[in-house]
Structure 1
Amino acid sequence: MLKFSNQPHVPSYYAATANDTTRHAPLEGTVRADVCVIGAGLTGVSAALNLAERGFSVVVLEASKVGWAASGRNGGQMIGGFACGMDTFAKTMSPSDVRLMWELGRETLDIVTGRIEQHRIDCELTLGYLTAANKPRQLDELRVWRDQTARDFGYDRFSIVERDAMHGFVDSARYVGGLHDPDSGHLHPLNYTLGLARAACEAGARIHEDSCVTDIRSHGNGHRIATTHGVVEAKFVVLACNTFVGSVAPALARKVMPVGTYVVATEPLGEARAKSLMPANAAMCDSRFVLDYFRRSKDHRLLWGGKVSYSTLEPRDLAQAMRQDMLKTFPQLAEVNIDYAWGGMVDITMNRAPHFGRVSPTMYFAQGFSGHGVNTTGLAGKLIAEAIDGQASRFDLFEKIRHRDFPGGATLRTPALVLAMAWYRMKDFL
């Protein structure tokens, strides 16, 4: 089953600045709970917190450490909505359901900001997000999106930043304009995950690290989930494994693909220089399909992300490869050192829509956040808790979305995706 255990967090900037060193003992013996959550990333701890608040007894099993995978090493970009367009939902939903999906996408932001305030999570939350256009046609597309959201959903908080105003966001000549979202933003993802885990424990959930699941067996009264040294007997199971879900549910794994993404952190630049690079302190990404994303840190570094690998192979000399990309936007940082370079896998779906559902009436899953996991995971945890508690209408909306298997099977699907992405990379240059 899950093939990693007892591993520390990767040596990232986030691990070096983590503000919670709490460790959770491995599972030993047999315990009983209403719900067993498998995975202590953002989806798992969010589900555990919401379930515990509703009075359920919850045990979380984590094969490594809380926030070990994508939840603790991503770019920290909190992006409202979903990775897919709203037309993806319109293919299988009524207009009223599509509008509800829009509202759920904005609710993801309220969930994050609310949890941070409620539990006093120190994770450097900063509001403001800019999607930057590399070409005039991309800026035109952003105008269309702004107008569509105002017309179809009554949302008027997006604003276009013209080229002559871009200096207020970024000291670079690379972009021709952008779309500003004041409600999205950025944060320290590992500290946010650790803060949610602490809140879940305070609400009554039990987390066990270094507890690799080796077997799940279902029976009439529930499920028996085994680890190397213990067993959980539970009525409900929540699979919050993302790219590792194939170890426990191979059929779900066919609906998602692991994709490598990478981040570097510069040495501290000093407050004045960091502010001069990104005066508004908004998170940013560009408009290409294979995009760059970047932001400032609290201690005045530049965090630069991108170099997406659809082959899952890490670029050779990662720090230098990422540095060369960074200098295309910020050539003025040519003499600046890279202090940290790391990466990891995120899971994407074919249509980039999140994949929530049930394996059985008492086994739930959420996966396929496709780069929007910082906040969409909070919604997943909330909706799973609602559904287990008998209020499934919002969760069931996601089961209306059609998700296809990645073509090529276990052997050929990664090469097939690499070829497909080569086409999109070429389109970025057109």
Structure 2
Amino acid sequence: MLKFANQSHAPSWYAATANDATRHPSLQGTLDADVCVIGAGLTGVSTALNLAERGYRVALLEASKVGWAASGRNGGQLIGGFACGIDTFAQFMNEGEVKQMWDMGLETLDIVKSRVAKHNIDCALTEGYFTAANKARDVDELKRWRDDAARRFGYDRFRYVDADGVGRFVQSGRYPGGLYDPDSGHLHPLNYTLGLARAAREAGVQIFEDSAVMRIRDEAGAHVIETAQGQVRAKFVVLACNTYLGALAPALARKIMPVGTYVIATEPLGEARMRSLMPAQAAVCDSRFVLDYFRPAPDTRLLWGGKVSYSTFAPPNLGEAMRRDMLKTFPQLGDVKVDYAWGGYVDITMNRAPHFGRVSPTVYFAQGFSGHGVNTTGLAGQLIAEAIHGQAARFDLFGKIRHRDFPGGATLRTPALVLAMAWYRMKDLL
């Protein structure tokens, strides 16, 4: 039987093992701040922390609880770079600027690691990430990626692993090779988010939960951000709402699409059995477009993710459906039960590149992390803080990327993407 934690967060293994139960008041009355950040996921918390460290008075408003949405539910994969291919940037930038994007993609990892160390965040951060090739043609593509990284950017840390070496990362006959990245890894995303929120509080950020923003209006040279029982007056606003942006900025919401993704946690396997499955204890994803991703948990469970859904409907009998997928890679786990199953939405852009920018000179946003949010949100928070502080060159580099609306509007875009996903699933099978 699946276990469900009696908590305000999604009933996940993350919620059951959260190590900070701090609750924040809802906003009451009027508050003055330099910056109002809307959304207390990784993007918002990271932005608020970076701003507070620069001396700004920051109010952070959250409609539910800190880390309630994707930041506290995702697969916990810490993946260097961005979800799009590096040549996506080359369409809009010169090679020197593309190199800057590459460097910032690596910087995302350094930001997470330095935050964990500086603030003593207990989130089971583990280095090591393995991309497993599903087919021989994928092996060639991974080798090209390794060679391109070395030739164009001087990055020689990727290691190709042949079929004989795959067992170090995953004991399965399913994969003919793969690419190992020692700098990426995995962590407990909810505990990481909660740890950043603690650091933000200690830096002076005022955090308010259960404080959904109803309206933003301008008055006497300031933005007035209204909730049901209060308001914040601020010079700057940061929109960090991702898939829950909605009516606050409809033009931005059309640039992203909510995509369902799901995770299960098995019962504890024991140290010996867990290490026999994944000796290196690295995170793993496969090379398909509609991919599976999995990793070991500190209490010897296997966390298995996948079943990406563009329809926004969770698969029926989620735990068992995910378990069947797991057994395709690990048939030796046929006797293992699933203790937790959960899901949530990540936001994707049409080209999978992150979407950072301004609605107006004093209203900033960051969205469209497309599955790389654990690390890229840290960069977003740093760049927004730099820009508000008057150093906008790196932030403005992202403004060169052109982002298209998803076709079909609110009514037809989901069916269109479901058809597109069916095409990619078919390609994965060929």
Q: Same fold (TM over 0.5)?
A: yes
| Residue in structure 2 matched with residue 46 of structure 1 by the alignment | 46
| Residue in structure 2 matched with residue 332 of structure 1 by the alignment | 332
- 1:219 CA displacement: 3.8
| Residue in structure 2 matched with residue 3 of structure 1 by the alignment | none
| Residue in structure 1 matched with residue 125 of structure 2 by the alignment | 125
| Residue in structure 2 matched with residue 19 of structure 1 by the alignment | 19
| Residue in structure 2 matched with residue 110 of structure 1 by the alignment | 110
Describe the SS at the equivalent of 1:213: coil
Q: How far apart are the structure 1 equivalents of 2:73 and 2:154?
A: 35
Q: How far apart are the structure 2 equivalents of 1:169 and 1:149?
A: 22
Q: How far apart are the structure 2 equivalents of 1:401 and 1:215?
A: 28
- 1:221 CA displacement: 1.3
Deviations 1:220-239 (A, max 9, x none): 51200000110000000000
Q: How far apart are the structure 2 equivalents of 1:247 and 1:291?
A: 32
Q: How far apart are the structure 2 equivalents of 1:392 and 1:220?
A: 26
| Residue in structure 2 matched with residue 198 of structure 1 by the alignment | 198
Which deviates the most, 376-385 or 211-220? Answer: 211-220
| Residue in structure 1 matched with residue 310 of structure 2 by the alignment | 310
| Residue in structure 1 matched with residue 412 of structure 2 by the alignment | 412
Task: Map residues 84-233 of structure 1 onto 2, 5 A cutoff.
Answer: 84-219=84-219, 221-233=221-233
Q: How far apart are the structure 2 equivalents of 1:225 and 1:219?
A: 10
Is the contact made by 1:222 and 1:362 (CA closer than 8 Å) also made in structure 2? no
Q: How far apart are the structure 2 equivalents of 1:267 and 1:370?
A: 29
- 1:367 CA displacement: 0.2
- 1:245 CA displacement: 0.9
Q: How far apart are the structure 2 equivalents of 1:53 and 1:215?
A: 28
Describe the SS at the equivalent of 1:131: strand
Q: How far apart are the structure 2 equivalents of 1:233 and 1:12?
A: 36
| Residue in structure 2 matched with residue 356 of structure 1 by the alignment | 356
Deviations 1:127-183 (A, max 9, x none): 000000010100100000000000000000001000001111111000011000000
Deviations 1:86-129 (A, max 9, x none): 11000010110000000000000000000000000000000000
Q: How far apart are the structure 2 equivalents of 1:19 and 1:219?
A: 41
One-letter amino acid of the structure 2 residue matched with residue 38 of structure 1: I
Is the contact made by 1:62 and 1:208 (CA closer than 8 Å) also made in structure 2? yes
- 1:8 CA displacement: 1.2
Is the contact made by 1:58 and 1:206 (CA closer than 8 Å) also made in structure 2? yes
| Residue in structure 2 matched with residue 395 of structure 1 by the alignment | 395
One-letter amino acid of the structure 2 residue matched with residue 277 of structure 1: L
- 1:246 CA displacement: 1.5
- Tell me the TM-score normalized by structure 1: 0.98
Task: Map residues 69-80 of structure 1 onto 2, 5 A cutoff.
Answer: 69-80=69-80
Unmatched segments (≥5 aa) in structure 1: 1-6
Cα RMSD, aligned residues only: 0.7
Is 1:383 the counterpart of 2:383? The answer is yes
| Residue in structure 1 matched with residue 83 of structure 2 by the alignment | 83
Deviations 1:267-307 (A, max 9, x none): 00000000000000000000000000000000000000000
Moved over 6 A (4+): none
One-letter amino acid of the structure 2 residue matched with residue 374 of structure 1: V
| Residue in structure 1 matched with residue 8 of structure 2 by the alignment | 8
Q: How far apart are the structure 2 equivalents of 1:221 and 1:132?
A: 54
Describe the SS at the equivalent of 1:212: coil
Residues 326 and 112 from structure 1, CA distance in 2 versus in 1: closer, same or farther, beyond 3 angstroms?
A: same
Describe the SS at the equivalent of 2:236: strand
Describe the SS at the equivalent of 2:214: strand
Deviations 1:343-368 (A, max 9, x none): 00000000000000000000000000
| Residue in structure 1 matched with residue 425 of structure 2 by the alignment | 425
Deviations 1:14-71 (A, max 9, x none): 0000000000000000000000000000000000000000000000000000000000
Q: How far apart are the structure 2 equivalents of 1:266 and 1:388?
A: 44
Is the contact made by 1:36 and 1:237 (CA closer than 8 Å) also made in structure 2? yes
Q: How far apart are the structure 2 equivalents of 1:226 and 1:201?
A: 22
| Residue in structure 1 matched with residue 267 of structure 2 by the alignment | 267
One-letter amino acid of the structure 1 residue matched with residue 242 of structure 2: N
Q: How far apart are the structure 2 equivalents of 1:20 and 1:423?
A: 43
Tell me the percent identity: 75
Q: How far apart are the structure 1 equivalents of 2:59 and 2:304?
A: 36
| Residue in structure 2 matched with residue 297 of structure 1 by the alignment | 297
Q: How far apart are the structure 1 equivalents of 2:93 and 2:364?
A: 22
Unmatched segments (≥5 aa) in structure 2: 1-6
Describe the SS at the equivalent of 1:237: strand
Residues 341 and 379 from structure 1, CA distance in 2 versus in 1: closer, same or farther, beyond 3 angstroms?
A: same
Describe the SS at the equivalent of 2:245: helix
Q: How far apart are the structure 1 equivalents of 2:216 and 2:183?
A: 40
One-letter amino acid of the structure 1 residue matched with residue 201 of structure 2: C
| Residue in structure 2 matched with residue 37 of structure 1 by the alignment | 37
- 1:247 CA displacement: 2.7
